[in-house]
Amino acid sequence: MTISSVLVANRGEIAVRIIKAAKALGIRTVQVYSAADADMLAVRLADEAINIGPPAPKKSYLNIEALIAAAKASGVDAVHPGYGFLSENGDFADAVEAAGMVFIGPSGDAIRLLGDKVAARSVAAKAGVPTVPGSDGRIDSLDDARAVVEKTGFPIMIKAAAGGGGRGIRIVLTVLELEQQFSQASAEAAAAFGNGGLYLEKVITRARHVEVQILGDGVNVVHCFERECSLQRRRQKVWEEAPATRLPADIREKLCASAVALARAVHYRGAGTVEYLYDEDAREFYFIEVNTRIQVEHPVTEMITGIDLVQEMFRVAGGAPLSVSQDDIKVRGHAIECRINAEDPSRGFMPAPGLIETLKIPESESVRFDTMLYQGYTVPPFYDSLLGKLIVWAETRALCLDRLRSALEGLTVTGVPTTIPLHLALVDDAQVRDANYHTRFLETWLDTTFAPPAQKSVEVA
Amino acid sequence: MSKLEIRSPLPGTFYRASSPETPPFKADGAAVSNGDVIGLIEVMKTFQEIPCDVSGQNIVFLVENEEPVMAGQVIAEVDP
C-alpha cells in the first residue's frame, strides 16, 4: 500500500523535516501539537493540525492513546514518529498497526529486540559484529560482576539494559566502587526505566564515535556509509561529520558490512543507525547500540550520498522495495552538521527559551539549515533546546570547514543565546581541523581552551 | 497584612519535590527562610532550583506540582 497521508507524531525541527519529505511525495500531512506548540512551524506547514493535550510530554507527545485517537480522527494511513518521544517504543508501533495504520519504522518486535541493550549485544555478536568486552548479557549479582571485571579490568561501565542515549551509565574504577555502585545502579534503573537489569562494558579510552546509516525494506539492507560524532558534551552530540575522516578504507568496509549483517539478521525495515566505538590506536571497532529510527544527524549522510533518507522511510513503509542498491550508493565530498541549541556557552550551557527577535539564514546550494524557527516565534521551555542544525557540504573536509565558518558567520539568531559561538571556536581549532579528537575531547577542551563570549540574554524578574 | 510573594525566575514546569518518591521541599503551611529551596523548575530538560528570597510563615502554593509556569509568575505566598 502506498502511503497517502501521515500523522507526524513529533515536534520541532524533525516534524518540519518529515512534512517536507511527505510533501515532496504528495502525501497529506497532519501535525499533532501540545498546547505549548500551537504556533510552531510544523503546524503552519502541515495540511492539518490536531491539539493532543497539555505541554508536558507525557500528556501529549508521549501519550499513546491521544496520538492514536488523533490518527483515527484525521483518517491518516500512517504515523511517523520522528526521533525521541515514542520513536523507539515498540508498544506504540504495535498500537499504530493494531489501529490499522502503518508505523513508519521497524516492527514493534524489532524495536523491542534492538532496544534492549543486552539482547542487541547478543544479536550483534551472533551476526559476527565485535562488541565491547564486558558481560555476556545481563548480570544479576555482584559476584558475576566481579568475575567479569577480573577478565576485562577497569575502568568499566555499569549500564542499564533498558537505558540509552547516554542515560543510565556509571563508570567505576575499582572493585570497591563497583561494590558500592552496583545495587544503587540496579535500583535506579528499575525506577527510571521500569527494568533493573544491568550489564557491564569496558571503557574504551580515547575512542571515536562512528555510526553506520542503514536502510532496509524487510528483505534487503543497504548501508549509506558512516558518520563520526565524537564531539560530545555530557554524552550529547554537538557536531557530526560524514564520512569519518580518519577511518582507514579497510576498516570502513568491515564496519559498514557488519552493520548490514546485523540489520539483515533481524529483517530490518526502515532507516536505522548502528553505533560503534572505534579505537584508532588498536584499529578495532566495537558495537554499542542500534537506534531504530531516523537520527538527528541524518542530513550529513544525505549531503554526501544524495539520498533523501526520510523519503526512503516513507517508500519502504508503504511496501516498496529500496529505491537504491548498494552499488548505487557513493560518497561524494564531506559534510559537517552543527547543532544550534538555545543554550548559553558563557553560562555553563544554561538553556534559555524565549522570543526569536531576528533570524537570518545563510543561503547557498551547499548549506542547509534544518530548523523549527521563524522570526517572532517563542521557543517554549518544555522540550529540548535544539533550535536547528546547520549542515554544510564541500568537495573536501578542509573546504567544508572554511565554508562552515562562513555559514556560521552568516547565521544570525537573536533573542535567545545560542551555541553558535561554540561552533565558531571549534571550526578554527587546530585539533578539530585535523580531526584529532575522541569522545572525551570536547569536555576537556571546554574547560581548558574555550573562552565563550558573553551573549546578550533577556533578564527576567 | 499583605503576603510575601515567591516568583519563578524562569519559564518551565514546576516541581515541588526532587523526585516523585521524595517528600516536597516545603509542606503546605511550612515556615521558610531566605535561601531555602521551595521547588524545581524544569527548563528544556534541565532542572534549576528555586530559592526562596523571603522569610515567613505558612507557605501557600499557588501552582500545582508539574504545572507549567511563566517567568515571573507567583509560585507561592507566605505570611511575613
Cβ distance B10 to A36 less than 8 Å, yes or no, reads: no
A197 and A211: one domain?
no
Q: Of the listed A121, A293, A315, A368, which one is catalytic?
A: A293
DSSP A335-376: EEEEEEESEEGGGTTEE--EE--EEE---BTTEEEEES--TT
Domain count, chain A: 3
> Are A223 and A196 found together in one domain?
no
Determine whether the interchain pair B43/A36 forms a contact, defined as Cβ–Cβ distance below 8 Å: no
> Please, which pLDDT band fits residue A408 given cuts at 50, 70 and 90?
very high
Task: Indicate whether A251 and A156 sit together in one domain.
Answer: no
Same domain flag for A96 and A164: no
- CATH label of the domain that carries residue A95: 3.40.50.20
The model's pLDDT over A158-188, given as tens digits with 9 standing for 90+, comes to 998 877 666 778 999 999 999 999 988 888 8
CA distance A330 to chain B (A): 38
Per-residue confidence (pLDDT) for residue A118, from 0 to 100: 85
Kindly tell me if the per-residue pLDDT of A43 is higher than 90.
yes
Residue-wise pLDDT tens digits, B27-77: 999 999 999 999 999 999 889 999 999 999 999 999 999 999 999 999 999
On the 0-12 / 13-18 / 19+ scale of CB atoms within 10 A, A331 is: middle
pLDDT at A67: 98
> Residue A458 pLDDT more than 90?
no
Give the per-residue pLDDT at A187: 85
SS3 content of chain B, % helix, strand, coil (to 5): 0, 45, 55
Q: Enumerate residues 6+ apart whose C-beta is below 8 A from B19.
A: none
Of residues A278, A284, A279, A307, the one with CA closest to residue A294: A307
H or E, element range at A275: strand A269-279
In this complex, is the C-beta atom of A194 within 8 Å of any C-beta atom belonging to chain B? no
Domain ranges of chain B: 4-79
Q: Which domain holds residue A248?
A: 207-448
Answer yes or no: do A306 and A410 share one domain.
yes
In a domain, A460, yes or no: no
A97 and A139 in a single domain? The answer is no
DSSP states along B22-60: SPPSS-TT--B-TT-EEEEEEETTEEEEEE--S-BEEEE
A61: pLDDT strictly greater than 90: yes
CATH number of the domain residue A219 falls in: 3.30.470.20
Find the helix or strand (DSSP H, E) in which A124 lies: helix A117-126
What does the pLDDT average to over A238-265? 97
A54 in contact with B, Cβ within 8 Å: yes
Q: Return the pLDDT at A190.
A: 83
A142 and A179 share one domain:
yes
Q: Do B44 and A460 touch (CB under 8 A)?
A: no
Q: Are residues A222 and A196 in the same domain?
A: no
Element (H, E) at A402: helix A397-410
Do A381 and B12 count as a contact with CB atoms less than 8 A apart?
yes
Mean pLDDT to the nearest integer, A116-142: 90
Catalytic residue flag (residue A293): yes
The answer to whether A460 contacts B13, with C-beta atoms less than 8 Å apart, is no
Q: What is the DSSP letter of A27?
A: -
Residue B11 forms contact with A (CB below 8 Å): yes
CATH C-level class of B4-79? mainly beta
Query: Quick one: cell of A224?
Result: 549509506
What is the rounded end-to-end Cα distance, in angstroms, of chain A? 55
Residue A341: which pLDDT band, with cuts at 50, 70 and 90?
very high
Please state the rounded mean pLDDT for residues A17-44.
98
How much is the pLDDT for B1? 63
* Among candidates A191, A342, A460 on the partner chain, residue whose Cβ is nearest the Cβ of B9: A460
Interface contact flag, A351 B68, Cβ < 8 Å: no
Instruction: Note the maximum CA span of chain A.
Output: 60
Over the range A15-50, which residues count as b (16 or more CB within 10 Å of their CB) and which as e?
A: bbbbbbbbeebebbbbbbbbbbbeebbbbebbebbb
CB contacts < 8 A, A to B, total 48
Residue B40: its pLDDT value, please? 95
- Calculate mean pLDDT across residues A328-346: 97
* CA dist., res. A313 & res. A14, Å (int): 14
State whether residue A56 sits within 8 Å of chain B by CB.
yes
A239 contact B CB<8A: no
